[in-house]
Structures are given as structure tokens and as C-alpha cells.
């Protein structure tokens, strides 16, 4: 029986650059690093002898983290999925001040699909926008109590 969430993961090409992005640009903390070599039968990876460098980023004391998986052997093939392709994934972050976050990350070169968009419903307002990390993985930012521009 499922008792909660543990982590989500992205396979990455340049672990060092991706750690810089998630740590320095988004402000997450490196929680742990693991040099992992699968046994000859593949172990839980199902890839015999796979050698991976794993970096977990997140917030201390928060159950869910993001695992950045760099395959050293075998190397990862090129390619990426568009937002609407089957198998595409994203990670959603709860944020405060989505407008400020959008301005700050845009100035840092983060690519957004749109500026924050606001939805209104019986439970209140929600500010939301999608972006990509340096390798094209999809990120969603959600502000559950936004200061809506123009008072909308």
C-alpha cells in the first residue's frame, strides 16, 4: 500500500550543470549524492552493470525530492519528449510570489511557455506557469495564493 511520495527523477546529460541549476537558480539543497553501479544482472535498474551518478535535490525535512540521474554507462541516448507526448513528465513546485519568481528566473535565462496564468475557482485563485530546465525537462510552478496582477 502506498504511504506517500519519495522522489521523482530526471535522466540528465550534464549532472554538474543540472545541480547548479536546481541548487543555485531554483534554491534547492543537495540532499545526497550516490555513485551507483548495478550488479551484472541489472539489479533494480534492469540494465546490467549500469553505472549511474545520482544527485537528490530538494528541501531539508520535506518528504519529496528530485533525483538527477546521470548514466555514465551505458550513456543515455539523445532525445526528449514534448509536453503532450505520451511518457512526457514534469515536476510541479509550490511557490510564493509567482510573478517575482517568473521575473527572476526569466532574467536568469529560464525558458517559460507563458507568463503566469491565473485560474479562479471556489477554493480561491491559482497562479501557474510552465518552464524548462537547462536540458529541457518540464517544470511547473504553482502559487496557491497569488497576488493577482490588476486585482483579477
pTM of the model as a whole: 0.89
**How far is the C-alpha of 108 from the C-alpha of 134, rounded, in Å?**
11
Q: pLDDT per residue over 65-118, tens digit each?
A: 999 999 999 988 888 888 788 888 999 999 999 999 999 999 999 999 999 999
pLDDT band at 132 (very low <50, low <70, confident <90, very high): very high
pLDDT band at 152 (very low <50, low <70, confident <90, very high): very low
Alpha carbon 56 to chain centroid distance? Answer: 11
The pLDDT value recorded for residue 151 is: 52
Q: pLDDT per residue over 11-63, tens digit each?
A: 999 999 999 999 999 999 999 999 999 988 888 888 988 999 999 999 999 88
What CATH number labels 90-151? 3.10.180.10
Q: For the chain, where do the domains classified as CATH 3.10.180.10 start and end?
A: 7-73, 90-151
CATH class of 7-73: alpha beta
Amino acid at each position: 500500500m502506498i504511504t506517500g511520495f519519495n522522489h521523482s527523477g530526471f535522466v540528465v546529460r550534464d549532472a554538474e550543470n543540472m545541480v547548479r541549476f536546481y541548487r543555485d537558480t531554483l534554491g534547492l539543497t543537495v540532499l545526497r549524492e550516490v555513485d551507483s553501479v548495478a550488479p551484472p544482472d541489472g539489479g533494480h535498474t534492469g540494465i546490467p552493470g549500469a553505472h549511474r551518478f545520482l544527485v537528490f535535490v530538494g528541501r531539508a525535512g520535506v518528504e519529496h525530492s528530485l533525483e538527477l540521474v546521470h548514466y555514465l554507462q551505458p550513456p543515455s541516448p539523445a532525445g526528449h519528449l514534448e509536453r503532450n507526448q505520451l511518457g512526457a513528465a514534469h515536476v510541479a513546485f509550490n511557490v510564493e510570489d509567482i510573478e517575482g519568481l517568473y521575473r527572476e528566473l526569466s532574467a536568469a535565462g529560464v525558458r517559460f511557455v507563458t507568463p503566469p496564468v491565473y485560474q479562479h475557482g471556489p477554493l480561491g485563485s491559482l497562479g501557474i506557469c510552465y518552464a524548462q530546465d537547462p536540458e529541457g525537462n518540464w517544470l511547473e510552478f504553482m502559487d496557491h495564493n497569488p497576488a493577482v496582477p490588476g486585482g483579477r
